[in-house]
Chain A
């Protein structure tokens, strides 16, 4: 064998490279900052102070100061990202807000998963490596929660699970996830992870129910052709594609 031929064989080894998600997470690990020493103010403490000062007109300014500070704290929390000190407060506020406004836990959790993806996108675009790992973890947890609630909904109220609103949110979430993965240059959930398997299970069940439902309906020729494509996507286990096509079928 000539030296040049051997050199070419050696060059094949250049094709070995590390996983991009490991590269990103290692970088985050290396540059992880120490957590800051900031403390959250307890709401009870704030109430106690207000009760004391409200009966004493001379102390109106301190009361206002507390209210203003509380407002600044809430505002800071709203801008926080996974991994930041005030993020726990933001997460609580979001959940409380959604549980009041959106009755259905499955829909609420789908929205929260979407927020986590938006956080990830923002972190990726601003290269805040210290927030990356917590943000990915938060997203994965939100996906697990959304998948579990969706499965429960599908068992308890199949009609509700098949609503266009649910399907639209699922498709949108899938598209957002793909966009974020393109920015990061890596998958944000391991194929073997609990989040991915529960997610895929939830979508698979939804698609199967829809197919069973569509099978009993009268369809036009175009709709029949579309149904064929949906069945093929389901056979290939590309359930996200099947779901997208189901939305077109319903339109």
Chain B
């Protein structure tokens, strides 16, 4: 059990930020993202610590396992009738990596981030996931293939189409923010 715990603890450290960001981009609220992300790792640990799982190496790809859990948890969340909440970065106390910019520059960056967050929600979920894994998690094409079970060609085409769809929703200049509501 100690060995399994130590291993899963490292998995947690490695993936918590990725899973949190993934859930946050899909739900729009840091509070909901925290709840759902906790759920992902709680369920993950419950599954992992069951007898024989660690020893047998039954879960071959932990990343794929956690992302699948995350997608299930998000789907359950919306199945309960929850609506998408879009809170701008100004409205939330979300943590934000500070590169020491001045206040005006920081405000501009926050607006750009909100802009891209709105845009990414407008494209189909499969494309969202491919773009998140490729450009946020910096996964290679073969690694994305392992997550999706698709061929390299299919992943490349999906990323290309995802970018093309995203361009339709990302204006050249900074936009006026408006709330997005997804049923």
Q: Which residues on A sit within 8 Å (CB–CB) of B38?
A: 26, 29-30
B107 part of interface (Cβ distance < 8 Å): no
Which A residues are within 8 Å of any B CB, using their own CB? Answer: 1, 3, 6-7, 9-20, 22-23, 26-27, 29-31, 129
Q: Pick from B13, B17, B131: contact of A17, CB below 8 A.
A: B17
Q: Which 5 A-B pairs have the closest CB atoms?
A: A10-B135, A18-B20, A15-B97, A17-B95, A26-B38
Whole-angstrom distance from the CB of A170 to the nearest CB of chain B? 28
Knowing that A12-B113, A30-B45 are A-B contacts, what are 8 other residue pairs whose CB atoms are under 8 Å apart, sorted by A's residue number?
A1-B170, A12-B109, A13-B113, A14-B97, A15-B99, A18-B17, A26-B38, A30-B42
Whole-angstrom distance from the CB of B125 to the nearest CB of chain A? 16
Q: Which residues on A sit within 8 Å (CB–CB) of B26?
A: none
Whole-angstrom distance from the CB of B48 to the nearest CB of chain A? 10
Q: Pick from A6, A11, A13, A26: contact of B167, CB below 8 A.
A: A6
Q: Pick from A17, A19, A22, A27: contact of B9, CB below 8 A.
A: A27
The reply to whether A22 and B34 contact each other, CB–CB distance below 8 Å, is: yes
Q: Which residues on A sit within 8 Å (CB–CB) of B112?
A: 9, 12
Q: Which residues on A sit within 8 Å (CB–CB) of B45?
A: 30-31
Q: Which residues on B sit within 8 Å (CB–CB) of A17?
A: 17, 20-21, 95-97
Whole-angstrom distance from the CB of B91 to the nearest CB of chain A? 14
Whole-angstrom distance from the CB of A129 to the nearest CB of chain B? 8
* SS of A interface (majority): helix
Q: Which residues on B sit within 8 Å (CB–CB) of A20?
A: 95
The reply to whether A31 and B9 contact each other, CB–CB distance below 8 Å, is: yes
Known: A16-B96, A18-B95, A23-B16. A10 touches B136 (CB 8 A): yes
Known: A1-B172, A3-B163. A16 touches B24 (CB 8 A): yes
Which B residues are within 8 Å of any A CB, using their own CB? Answer: 5, 9, 12-13, 16-17, 20-21, 24-25, 30, 33-34, 37-38, 41-42, 45, 93-97, 99, 109, 112-113, 115-117, 120, 131-132, 135-136, 163, 166-167, 170, 172
The reply to whether B34 and A6 contact each other, CB–CB distance below 8 Å, is: no
The reply to whether B95 and A13 contact each other, CB–CB distance below 8 Å, is: no
Q: Pick from B42, B95, B109, B116: contact of A19, CB below 8 A.
A: B95
The reply to whether A31 and B95 contact each other, CB–CB distance below 8 Å, is: no
Among residues of A, the one whose C-beta sits closest to the C-beta of B33 is: A18
Known: A13-B25, A23-B16. A18 touches B96 (CB 8 A): no
Q: Which residues on B sit within 8 Å (CB–CB) of A14?
A: 21, 97, 136
The reply to whether B135 and A16 contact each other, CB–CB distance below 8 Å, is: no
Whole-angstrom distance from the CB of A24 to the nearest CB of chain B? 10
Q: Which residues on A sit within 8 Å (CB–CB) of B30?
A: 18
Q: Which residues on B sit within 8 Å (CB–CB) of A10?
A: 116, 120, 131, 135-136, 166
Among residues of A, the one whose C-beta sits closest to the C-beta of B21 is: A16
Among residues of B, the one whose C-beta sits closest to the C-beta of A3 is: B163
Q: Which residues on A sit within 8 Å (CB–CB) of B131?
A: 10
Q: Which residues on A sit within 8 Å (CB–CB) of B113?
A: 12-13, 15-16
Among residues of A, the one whose C-beta sits closest to the C-beta of B5 is: A31
